[in-house]
Structure 1
């Protein structure tokens, strides 16, 4: 990380082929100063259901004012970068189309690398996919019967996607046409809760075609999305910021970069504590305000993991959390308790998933 002054969160002895994080990391400097670029997920991080998440606009404005570059990296292939940039600007987060990287762009590059230029590609998705395919010199089509069909690509098409679109994909895939997906997120957060994502739509086609063919997937956490992001942003010290362990955090793990998990979307604390190594973020914060501050160390002392006055340990197959003060009182940071619990849980689990009882420990935090 060059001269970035980070501390804590040591990686275990398997560092190299497989990095095993035993506890969250620490940073003396605010994260917005320690990293040159934030690679921000959108759904569940910046907005949900089209509305800005509390504190997101102010935090991103402050990070940008302090010199941090902001890039928006989303698995949602529905909208074009232009449309996303307009939406962000309307929310109070000024953005240009070049600041937005989508899984549609990543999958379009993947397809363009594997089929002849100008090839017709059956699109099951929204305008974001069509624009990305045209950018790569490919022809979006809507019928499986188009002569010379070179590929089928699926991306999130919104809640009103006609059922006939899945049928077209099924016809083509069953005939052996190469199949691609922008991403396979099973869910997507919205204003009313968690809804089915593109991964659920991919499963529809998989089931209809007998379950014997797998699509090539471009989005987070897979390498094509990381490649697309690096090519478009030129980030030298990136920090991935997301709300999902299986896409944002695993994508950072696969790319060998640091990550910040925020609890404004899909992941809850119980899921974080049970995380396998590739799903363990470098840092955790309640929301995007975590970009503007340093991150406290999590110290390991005599079998306990200590952070901000909280002490976490394992006893009788359960996580135990003590100290920290009264939740809700001035100066009491429940995130420090979460960080301490992560240390105890991850150290106990090692290279696996934590199977400890976490109920009482989370109750101590009011969760």
Structure 2
């Protein structure tokens, strides 16, 4: 009898517990319906002439099937670009929210563009905002622009539905410096306290293009590397792949074009007495894509001549980039600080506070480049030339 009463009491307690938990059990209490949110695909931040912050958002507007100009195509997107100003970034965002009928949702944001005026005066406010905002994707790509973020967002290339498609692909296809929000936050607070951010420019109403790299020391932009210097930076950072490089051979007419299919970089720091040095070793594997000379590639000596000419070009290009960021910018965007920290942690502790200003500019850099041509092409002789005009050696 007693066991039966306990069993019945247990059932009643379980029923009460289930009833009490009903309000918190449904899984859709925090749902976000698509027609209630504004899908933000890109975020831009700049500083105005009077010192205010200007935030620009690119909102993607999903279209219903069959409503795209009567074509019947499905799922195409359009965009809307909005800007607002405030004393702080959150205030500017709040004013943007007042202009929108839907709640701002950053979960699909994939691009961040910083204006040059903000970059010159300092991006620390933007970095703090990026680090604190829980909804911002930290894998979004970061760019700097000479114009305004709004102009960049309003430039939509033919074949694209929104401008972020162009920006996102440019990093992948053109092999610009691949910098995400997370990596930017890590680099500006890392050993060197420096970063390189790709620069995007507006060419015309429908065209965007990469325009080198912005060099940051701390949170301020100190230089703008042109495309060649930016390519040297990408070699040093081991990010230069699948790109064509032209070279000329001494005593020969015409160019040889090679595609870089694989590259490897080694940074080897050394301390010799009071002298600090670093050995930068570059190994590259290339394929010949065009032979504009009269040389046949049947002979290994000719292939070797091309490889040595390529080595000289890469060595000079890397040297120019190193000297520029060393002597002029004093911003270690090359990764040398991290190499010294790993190899000589005790020595690093002594110099880290004066690395960019004193140690890095005086660092001796030895550059070794080795190029291996793996595939000279399907044919070993210049196509289209008569046999008597082909040079064997």
Q: TM-score range, shorter-chain basis?
A: under 0.3
Higher RCO (CA-CA < 8 Å; seq separation 6+): 1
TM-score, normalised by the number of residues in structure 1: 0.24
Task: Select the structure of larger CA radius of gyration.
Answer: 2
Task: Name the structure with the higher strand share.
Answer: 2
